[in-house]
Amino acid sequence: MNRIRVMLADDQRLFVESLKSVLETRAEDVSVIGIAKDGAEAVEMAIRLNPDIVLMDLRMPAMDGVEATKRIKERAPGIQVVMLTTFDDDEYVREALLCGAVGYLLKDIPPSEVIASLRAVKEGSVLISAPIAAKLIGRIAELEDAPHHPERAERDPGKLQSLSGREREVLDLLAEGLDNREIADRLFLAEQTVKNLVSMIYSKIGTHNRISAMKIASGEDS
């Protein structure tokens, strides 16, 4: 069995120890390989242990979860980061996703949903808790209506010129909302090959998450 190697980052000791116990007790395919007590330690530990997924708290001492996520993705883009927090403010969601997080979950969700989310992220999905999804969609709509917003600069067609033909095919399928497995099936590739291509695409177009990549791809002709 290929276990999902998970690292936890949270300064609430009781919560994080309970989460570790729940994950390892209820999910045979999940292994918690480390626990960081603050953002700075999360960055160091993630680079050293190279987990598949980091479950990252938003507010921690020394360095917050958003900054820690940004630094992890800059140094190890293959590590997936999921925010697990009590804060549902759409600004936090936006900042976390723009810094490279592939999920934003609230701490009050059932353990079964956390486990399901880990499995989905391992397969290439982007996850956002239902209560805050509407807020994020609203925020994206606001950006679409603001042509001079600095984030519109992401839609620079020049960023796509460095992509190979295969990388462009993968990016186009990302823009359609396909996950890694679906892309692999469509292009008759191994799923790990698709993951490698996605990481290379992120590096070339200057982003660390699927949402930004999808925006760049879909906005090429805008």
Q: Could you read off the pLDDT of 125-135 as tens digits, one per residue? A: 777 766 655 55
Q: Are 8 and 118 part of one and the same domain?
A: yes
The range of the structural domain enclosing residue 183 comes to: 148-218
Bridge partners of 81, per DSSP, are 54
Q: Are 194 and 92 part of one and the same domain?
A: no
Q: Is residue 72 part of a domain?
A: yes
Q: Are 108 and 166 part of one and the same domain?
A: no
Mean pLDDT computed over every residue of the chain = 81
As for how many domains the chain has, the answer is 2
Q: Check which CATH number belongs to the domain holding 83 and give it.
A: 3.40.50.2300
The whole-number pLDDT of residue 150 equals: 44
User: Could you identify the residue written with the tokens 């090959």?
Assistant: 193
Q: Are 159 and 209 part of one and the same domain?
A: yes
Q: Are 103 and 154 part of one and the same domain?
A: no
Q: Are 120 and 189 part of one and the same domain?
A: no
Using the 3D structure, point to which of 132, 164, 179 is the last residue of a domain. Answer: 132
Using the 3D structure, point to which of 132, 165, 190 is the last residue of a domain. Answer: 132
Bridge partners of 181, per DSSP, are none
Residue 217 vs residue 46, higher pLDDT: 46
Q: Mean pLDDT lowest for which of 16-20, 91-95, 113-117, 203-207?
A: 91-95
pTM of the model: 0.62
Q: Are 118 and 185 part of one and the same domain?
A: no
Using the 3D structure, point to which of 86, 104, 132 is the last residue of a domain. Answer: 132
Q: Are 9 and 97 part of one and the same domain?
A: yes
The set of residues, in sequence order, having a beta carbon less than 8 Å from that of 77 and lying 6+ positions away, is 100, 199, 202, 203, 208
Q: Are 163 and 120 part of one and the same domain?
A: no
Task: Write the pLDDT tens digit of every residue in 47-88.
Answer: 999 999 999 998 888 888 989 999 999 999 999 999 988 876
Q: Are 125 and 174 part of one and the same domain?
A: no
Q: Please state, in angstroms and as integers, the Cα–Cα distance from residue 161 to each residue in 181, 201, 203, 204, 208, following that order.
A: 25, 11, 13, 9, 18
Q: Check which CATH number belongs to the domain holding 173 and give it.
A: 1.10.10.10
Residue 14 vs residue 162, higher pLDDT: 14
Pairing mode, if any, of strands 80-85 and 103-106?
parallel
Q: Is residue 138 part of a domain?
A: no
Q: Are 17 and 110 part of one and the same domain?
A: yes
